[in-house]
Amino acid sequence: MGIYINPGNEAFRVKRNGKYVDKSGLIGVVNRSIGLPNKLSCISRPRRFGKSYAAQMLCAYYCVGCDSAPLFDDLEIAKDATYRQYLNQYNVLYIDISGVIGKTSLCEMLKFITDTVSNEIYELFPNTKKANTFADLLLNAVASTGRPFIALIDEWDAPIRDKQTTESLQYDYLQFLRSLFKDSSITDKVFAAAYITGILPIKKDGSQSAISEFWEYTILKPGPFAQYVGFTEDDVKNLCNESHVDLDKMRFWYDGYKIKGIGAVYNPNSVMKAIQLNEFQSYWSASSDPTSLLEYLNLDKEGLGKALIELMAGKEVPLNPRRFRNDPSSLNSEDDVLTLLTHYGYLSYDEERETVRIPNEEIRIEYADSIHYVTHTETIQRVKRSVQLMKDTADMHADAVAAELQKVHTEEYNPRHYNNEQSLRGTIKLAYFAYKDEYIQLEELAGGTGYADIVYLPKRNSDYPALVIELKALDRSHPQNDAKGAIAQIKNRNYPDILKNYTDEILLVGISYDKDDPDKKHTCVIESLQG
């Protein structure tokens, strides 16, 4: 066994010794591509979504020279018709590009790979003829062993994402990949299949991708790998039942990624840490560069500041991901930035609606931590206004609250949509969008005999009161829908019952505006209840 050639099954054996969620069905998807035109697969997922885990599993399954049946016989893949056919039948070329960069420099990376792998080939397959190129050496290795390779390249895009890389280094690296996977006279003889993973899809080169023969399965369009993107709802339910963990809290913290045909998808790393450490918190920063989100939010792209505010307010934002060139150094528009953040896991994409949103509490914390350092003037002013609105609400300055809500309502909604239910709720969310430091935002919460529009529940370390907010549109046919009427509705329908176990101060906030008034002046009434 080598390090890069046929490394064996020990890494996967260690994984199976711990709490294990069966994703072995992925092997069947790869098996059904072997020897076919779609045998080259590029899988792009956010960090800590199980990419390396899957690569190690594939290595254990395909690697010749070891007996992996005991690791797979009790798993889903064992029921697949292809299971025995390919089990431990291939030479495996396994390269973790991030690991290589950790051992050498970017400049020396390719030499390190070719020298080290070549030495292993000559050692493990002594009958292999020498060759002038690395690709030809792999071809000779296949000839000497009678076995083609399964290529597993983990974190293939690390040199593309590395801030220290240069265009020249990127070009050389992509040329190296081309030499292996673009020339069919080499590729078809050397590789039975290839499975490469990364955060980004393959970088586009002019009008085509750098290695266009790969079939790409992204977080936006995962294709047959959809159910293996992360943990599904059933996976998480089973884990919570086994570990006696609160499923609703798990959903609140880590649910929110949505895959067409699959539904809810969770970040496996965060779910497992929450179970193992018995604590719900953000585990995201520990597994990613904490400066990366702020870096992209600060980019001067038209519309990005407004989109950020809407996302922070819990709204969906339209996205066209098709023009993105899969290169973090080439971001030309708001869509490019939002598409990149989606690949990084900071946004969740709805393929049917073509929108993105912040997926869950864990990621909202990342935005909340970053928002105060954004340098856009417009965003800075909106943050200040939102923070001031929360202070004015807590201090029961009703006129100031009404004025700010009127301003936000007018800024964000055109006359056609001004009066509908969604715009009223959206106005509150947009106005209080910087709530994250002090509050948890709860929408359409059942309480008493109805549903409160929005409730803001203070975090444990917050000195702010809880807020139950109702916004009404007043007209001649509904004279009761003034600010006092909004307060009356909160009381009559007993919305504060939502917070019956909350013992600190609760503020009832009623806001109204007159649809028949050309200026649509907003008014506000704030009353205090002691929970």
Q: Tens of pLDDT along 94-152?
A: 999 999 999 999 999 999 999 999 999 999 999 999 999 999 999 999 999 999 999 99
Tokens 């690697």 correspond to what residue?
63
d(CA 271, CA 279): 10
Q: What is the pLDDT, as a whole number, of residue 48?
A: 87
> How many Å is the Cα radius of gyration of the chain?
27
Q: What is the pLDDT, as a whole number, of residue 454?
A: 83
Residue 448 has pLDDT above 70, yes or no: no
Comparing 473 with 316, the larger pLDDT belongs to 316
Q: Name the nearest CA neighbour of 517 among 401, 431, 409.
A: 409
C-alpha neighbours within 13 Å on the C-beta side of residue 354 = 6
> Could you tell me where the DSSP H helices lie in 219-260?
233-243, 247-254
The pair of structure tokens assigned to 357 is 């949103």
d(CA 43, CA 65): 27
Residue 92 has pLDDT above 90, yes or no: yes
Name residue 208's amino acid. Q
d(CA 425, CA 450): 15
CA distances from 40 to 7, 270, 324, 480 (A): 21, 30, 22, 65
Q: Tens of pLDDT along 29-48?
A: 999 999 999 999 999 999 88
Comparing 498 with 6, the larger pLDDT belongs to 6
E-assigned strand segments in 283-436: 317-318, 348-350, 355-357
Q: What is the pLDDT, as a whole number, of residue 290?
A: 46
Q: What is the pLDDT, as a whole number, of residue 240?
A: 96
Q: Tens of pLDDT along 360-419?
A: 999 988 888 888 788 778 888 888 999 999 999 999 999 999 999 999 988 887 776 677
d(CA 257, CA 233): 11
Point out which residues pair with 197 in neighbouring strands: 43
Residue 323, burial from CB neighbour count under 10 angstroms (0-12, 13-18, 19+): exposed
CA distances from 260 to 230, 269, 339, 356 (A): 13, 22, 17, 14
Q: What is the pLDDT, as a whole number, of residue 531?
A: 46
Asked whether 158 and 101 are in contact (CB, 8 A), the reply is yes
How far is C-alpha 219 from the chain's CA centre?
Answer: 8
> What 3-state class would DSSP assign to 75?
coil
Residue 249 has pLDDT above 80, yes or no: yes
Q: Tens of pLDDT along 152-202?
A: 999 999 998 887 888 899 889 989 999 999 888 889 999 999 999 999 888
> Could you tell me where the DSSP H helices lie in 413-452?
421-431
Q: Tens of pLDDT along 149-161?
A: 999 999 999 998 8
CA angle in degrees (0–180, nearest 5) for 270-273-275? 110
Asked whether 506 and 469 are in contact (CB, 8 A), the reply is no
Average per-residue pLDDT for the chain? 88
Could you tell me the domains of the chain? Answer: 10-227 (3.40.50), 231-371 (no CATH), 377-530 (no CATH)
d(CA 194, CA 212): 13
Point out which residues pair with 530 in neighbouring strands: 505
Going by the DSSP 8-state scheme, the letter that residue 342 receives in this structure is H
Q: Tens of pLDDT along 315-357?
A: 899 999 988 888 787 888 999 999 999 999 999 999 889 999 9
